[in-house]
């Protein structure tokens, strides 16, 4: 039995313990599952004394408590609150019975403590050996309904994964219209909520609001996790900064519609709920059927945002990202999109590959335009057949010639979409999502395939498998370039149309699982118009995700800063692109572009024939530097030294090895000033009892570098940049 999960039978208290945190809940005398505490480690103390059971006007009581008006679900902190139970705060669960009645009354029945974490059927989830898991069975006896609450404890990462299984144990059909995955209830609290909104090209900004009595609602019902809001948020103390204060992270392993809501209640407690968005959701459960909700990953830090980010980075690198590429250096690639767009053939691609190979670039990626009849974005999507006439050769010939140059070969695909001008649409109009007989809603000249249908997935699997088997393809970029709106399936009856949004996501996961299993050695990169589906669900299948279509280095500093609060840097697709930049028109030095791209997976988005000899030599040096520093960039702890949304003068960030023997300090001057003050950068993650060199020179105590800082040379032009390589040379003797 793991020490991470314990149960006090006398007081009926569950305690979940991670390395630095305690999570405690209690089954009270009527079977109501109450939340007691989540925060810094508290040892050997039952925390039920924190509960204030009191009578509050207009807050009713469950019938079975009799005349005790001090027990009200409207004010008590709960683990899985339900609609219609007398709790008027945001709920996690609501169900419609056979007579049209809504609500549920869930009471504790039993529990089980497992030594291993069960797999989450049909959905991505955290994995790992010897992960203790608590399963609590709650029951609504009137509806013949069981709700199983899962808590998996990742002790070293200070995280707890929560999910829910809803089972119809009776014969009557039920309809679940709200099925969130987790609730956090605090008996007190004066919290802020940090969240990550955006749009295409400006993904994952950082905003912070005080949690008051008005609801804060963060959500997406675009069918994807979206550019506009990310399924991750941080509940924190008012004084929490990068290095101090308590912070609670909530991250949803799901790629579809989601909801996060936070609010202070009438007695100044705080509730946050998270899960599948109830908008457009209604799931039918016949007798014996079950519904599984996606995992919410909770993490706690009492040392600010930085430690919270490290929890998520390490957890997702070790227990979410999979495949043979998880721990490998990713090939340095050049993508054809900004080099050629749709205007290419095989010979043009080979010319790009030849010049790129001479610079040390390791892979050519052929982007959009190689299949069907596809010379612009109005036709061809859905027809996954190689256009040999356009290429002037077969895909096998092209990949072989690229391989002969010493390079790997990859392709772009967009499986979930279809053009009306395609053979697939002409043969199978019913394959598309469409609101009954209404006209389609177009976006980017394309419609959406109904991924909830097995026959659609079978067609895509078969056609894409033929392509992937026809050539030596080692990388696939999977794109998705619109949101879902007219969501209706020809394959489901009217009473089940409320399941389509969720079934769509499950269908995408099903196809991804089949393809990644069949082609385990391919490096898959996710994309949705850039970072429109940058979420943990995608990271389960894709080892990296294109962080944004905006490749401007200045913009990317902000985008990658916001992304780093939850997601590991080595999952962020980032490239050096041509200037003037194609999204902003801005010109920045190539050295700056490289330093920013090094924070992610690193590659190039340009035509090497347009480079000067000086730029080509610089690229060779950049590639050598990325290879040299790869272990630190991929496995080091990442520190945000400045906030680019607040500091307009300069940006700085750092990678430090877990062993504290090496670090990379990255600096970019955003705005030069006349008569500037000197900039000092205080390092993090070093050993204060060791001596270090900077760029191979000097001798500096770790305590000096962290407390007094590194002096940055005076710079005169915008966008000048530095990398300070810091290496330990000796320990200070006591």
What's the DSSP call for residue 293? P
Q: Is 273 helix (H, G, I), strand (E, B) or coil?
A: strand
What's the DSSP call for residue 118? P
Question: Contact, 655 vs 638, CB < 8 A?
Answer: yes
Q: How is residue 6 written in tokens?
A: 């314990």
Name the maximum alpha-carbon separation found in the chain.
86
For strands 475-478 and 523-526, give the pairing.
parallel
Distance CA 227, CA 83 (A): 30
Burial (CB < 10 A; 0-12, 13-18, 19+), residue 612, is exposed
Distance CA 424, CA 381 (A): 8
Residue 352: φ, ψ to 5°: -60, -45
Q: Identify the helix (H) or strand (E) that includes residue 679.
A: strand 679-681
Which has the closest alpha carbon to 405: 338, 468, 349, 469? 349
Neighbours of 130 (CB within 10 A): 10
Packing angle between helix 613-635 and helix 346-359, nearest 10 degrees?
Answer: 70
DSSP-assigned letters across all residues of 516-577: HHHSTTSEEEE-BTTBTT-SHHHHTT-SEEE--S---HHHHHHHHHHHTTTS-GGGEE--EE
Burial (CB < 10 A; 0-12, 13-18, 19+), residue 614, is exposed
Q: HEC profile for 124-186?
A: CCCCCCCCCEEEEEEEECCCCEEEEEEEEEECCCCEEEEEEEEEECCCCCEEEEEEEEEEEEE
Q: List Cβ neighbours of 542 (8 Å cut-off, separation of 6 or more).
A: 478, 524, 525, 526
Burial (CB < 10 A; 0-12, 13-18, 19+), residue 424, is buried
Q: Is 349 helix (H, G, I), strand (E, B) or coil?
A: helix
Distances (CA, A) of 475 to 356, 364, 371, 465, 523: 17, 9, 17, 13, 5
Would you call the peptide bond into 33 cis, given omega within 30 degrees of 0 as the criterion?
Answer: no
Distance CA 548, CA 563 (A): 10
Catalytic residue among 397, 420, 421, 615: 615
Alpha helices, H only, 173-326: 304-319
Question: Contact, 220 vs 199, CB < 8 A?
Answer: no
For strands 296-301 and 637-640, give the pairing.
unpaired
Active site residue 615: yes
Catalytic residue among 368, 377, 416, 535: 535
What's the DSSP call for residue 507? H
- What's the sign of the alpha-carbon dihedral 544, 548, 552, 553? negative
Question: Contact, 410 vs 333, CB < 8 A?
Answer: yes
Residue whose entry in the numeric block shows the structure tokens 């995992």: 295
Which has the closest alpha carbon to 527: 259, 203, 262, 166? 203
Active site residue 535: yes
Q: List Cβ neighbours of 45 (8 Å cut-off, separation of 6 or more).
A: none
Question: Contact, 441 vs 486, CB < 8 A?
Answer: yes
Neighbours of 1 (CB within 10 A): 9
Active site residues: 535, 615
């Amino acid at each position: 039995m793991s020490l991470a999960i314990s149960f006090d039978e006398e007081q009926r208290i569950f305690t979940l313990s991670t390395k630095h945190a305690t999570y405690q809940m209690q089954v009270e005398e009527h079977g109501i599952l109450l939340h007691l505490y989540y925060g810094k480690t508290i040892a050997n103390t039952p925390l039920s004394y924190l509960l204030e059971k009191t009578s509050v006007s207009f807050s009713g009581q469950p019938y079975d408590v009799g005349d005790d008006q001090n027990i009200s679900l409207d004010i008590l902190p709960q683990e899985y609150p339900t609609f219609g139970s007398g709790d008027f705060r945001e709920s996690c669960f609501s169900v419609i019975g056979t007579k049209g009645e809504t609500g549920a009354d869930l009471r504790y029945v039993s529990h089980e403590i497992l030594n291993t974490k069960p797999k989450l059927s049909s959905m991505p989830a955290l994995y790992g050996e010897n992960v203790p898991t608590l399963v609590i069975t709650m029951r609504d006896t009137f509806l013949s309904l069981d709700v199983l609450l899962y808590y998996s404890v990742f002790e070293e990462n200070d995280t707890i994964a929560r999910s829910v299984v809803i089972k119809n144990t009776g014969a009557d059909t039920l309809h679940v219209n709200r099925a969130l995955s987790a609730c956090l209830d605090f008996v007190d609290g004066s919290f802020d909520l940090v969240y990550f909104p955006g749009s295409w090209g400006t993904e994952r900004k950082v905003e912070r609001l005080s949690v008051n009595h008005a609801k804060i609602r963060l959500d997406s019902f675009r069918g994807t996790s979206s550019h506009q809001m990310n399924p991750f948020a941080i509940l924190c103390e008012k004084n929490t900064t990068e290095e101090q204060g308590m912070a609670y992270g909530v991250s949803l392993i799901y790629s579809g519609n989601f909801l996060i809501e936070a609010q202070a209640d009438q007695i100044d407690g705080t509730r946050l709920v998270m899960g599948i968005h109830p908008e457009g959701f209604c799931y039918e459960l016949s007798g014996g059927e079950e519904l599984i909700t996606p995992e919410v990953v909770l993490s706690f830090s009492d040392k600010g945002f930085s430690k919270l980010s490290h929890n998520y980075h390490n957890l997702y690198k070790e227990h979410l990202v999979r495949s043979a590429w998880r721990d490998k250096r990713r090939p340095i690639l050049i993508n054809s999109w900004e080099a050629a767009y749709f205007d290419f053939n095989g010979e043009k691609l080979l010319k790009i590959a030849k010049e790129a190979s001479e610079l040390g670039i390791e892979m050519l990626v052929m982007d959009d335009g190689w299949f069907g009849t596809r010379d612009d974005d109005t036709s061809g999507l859905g027809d996954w057949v190689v256009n040999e006439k356009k290429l002037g050769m077969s895909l096998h010939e092209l990949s072989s010639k690229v391989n002969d140059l010493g390079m790997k070969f990859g392709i772009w695909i967009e499986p979930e979409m279809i053009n009306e001008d395609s053979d697939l649409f002409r043969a199978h109009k019913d394959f598309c999502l469409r609101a009954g007989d209404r006209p389609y809603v177009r976006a980017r000249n394309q419609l959406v395939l109904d991924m909830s249908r097995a026959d659609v997935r079978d067609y895509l699997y078969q056609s894409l498998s033929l392509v992937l088997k026809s050539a030596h393809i080692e990388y696939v970029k999977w794109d998705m370039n619109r949101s879902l709106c007219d969501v209706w399936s020809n394959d489901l009856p009217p009473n089940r149309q409320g399941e389509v949004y969720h079934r769509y996501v499950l269908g995408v996961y099903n196809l991804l699982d089949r393809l990644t299993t069949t082609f385990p050695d391919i490096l898959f990169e996710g994309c949705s118009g850039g970072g429109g589906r940058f979420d943990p669900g995608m990271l389960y299948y894709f080892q990296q995700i294109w962080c944004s279509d905006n490749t401007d280095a200045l913009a990317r500093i902000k985008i990658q800063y916001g992304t780093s609060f939850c997601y590991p840097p080595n999952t962020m697709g980032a490239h050096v692109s041509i200037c003037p930049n194609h999204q902003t028109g801005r010109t920045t030095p190539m050295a700056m572009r490289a330093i920013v791209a090094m924070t992610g997976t690193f590659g190039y988005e340009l035509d090497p024939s347009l480079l000067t000899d000086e730029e080509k030599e610089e690229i060779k040096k950049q590639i050598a530097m990325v290879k040299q520093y790869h272990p630190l960039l991929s496995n080091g702890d990442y520190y945000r030294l400045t906030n680019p949304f607040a500091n307009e003068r300069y940006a700085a960030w750092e990678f430090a090895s877990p062993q504290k023997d090496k670090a990379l300090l990255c600096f970019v001057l955003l705005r030069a000033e006349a008569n500037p003050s000197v900039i000092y950068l205080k390092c993090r993650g070093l050993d204060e009892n060791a001596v270090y060199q900077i760029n191979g020179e000097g001798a500096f105590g770790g305590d000096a570098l962290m407390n007094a800082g590194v002096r940055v040379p005076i710079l005169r032009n915008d966008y000048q940049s530095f990398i300070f390589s810091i290496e330990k040379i000796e320990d200070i003797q006591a």
